Amino acid sequence: MSNRLDRNPNRVSFDPQDADVPAFDAIAEERGMSRAELLREKVKETVGQRHDDTGLPEDETLRRAYLALLDTAGPNHRVDTKSAESALADTLNRPKGSVRSVLKELEEHGYVAPRWGNITVRRRDALVSSSPDVAPADD
């Protein structure tokens, strides 16, 4: 392991080789994100796909929550935070204030990406596909 990794194992640096970095930057800009934010999102999505072969959360509460958000989200796979909290409260039979922890856990596993009062819900096909070309919810 290099000395750099010993000092900061969470910092990632790599040579993109023939990857189209300008196109990646354009996608990030279209989403109002930095390159680093989009890369973090992609890492979370990749890790989130490892849970099972359906791509759905193994935990029943998270599975129900994700599917409820997917149903609530519009065609662009986005839902405003208040509507998301209401849908989860109804689905999980919990007070609205208590569903934020569920949203946070879904975010940690890469199923949703909150941003500026909206939540982007990943498409189901993106959960089960292992193709690096699968686009996230809003492409």
Q: What are 51-103's pLDDT values in tens digits? A: 455 678 888 899 999 999 988 987 888 899 999 999 999 999 998 888 989 99
Q: Name 133's Cβ contacts closer than 8 Å, sequence gap at least 6.
A: none
Q: Name 87's Cβ contacts closer than 8 Å, sequence gap at least 6.
A: 68, 69, 71, 72, 79
The Cα–Cα gap between 42 and 134 comes to: 10
Contact between 82 and 88 under an 8 Å Cβ cutoff? The reply is no
| pTM > 0.85 | no
The pLDDT tens digits for 41-62 are 887 777 665 545 567 888 889 9
Element (H, E) at 118: strand 118-121
Burial class (CB in 10 A: 0-12, 13-18, 19+), 41: buried
Specify the CATH number for 21-128; select among 3.40.50.300, 1.10.10.10, 3.40.50.10540, 1.10.150.130: 1.10.10.10
What is the pLDDT at residue 132?
38
Question: In terms of pLDDT, which residue wins out, 30 or 127?
Answer: 30
Distances (CA, A) of 13 to 62, 67, 131: 32, 35, 22
- Any idea where the domains of the chain sit in the sequence? 21-128
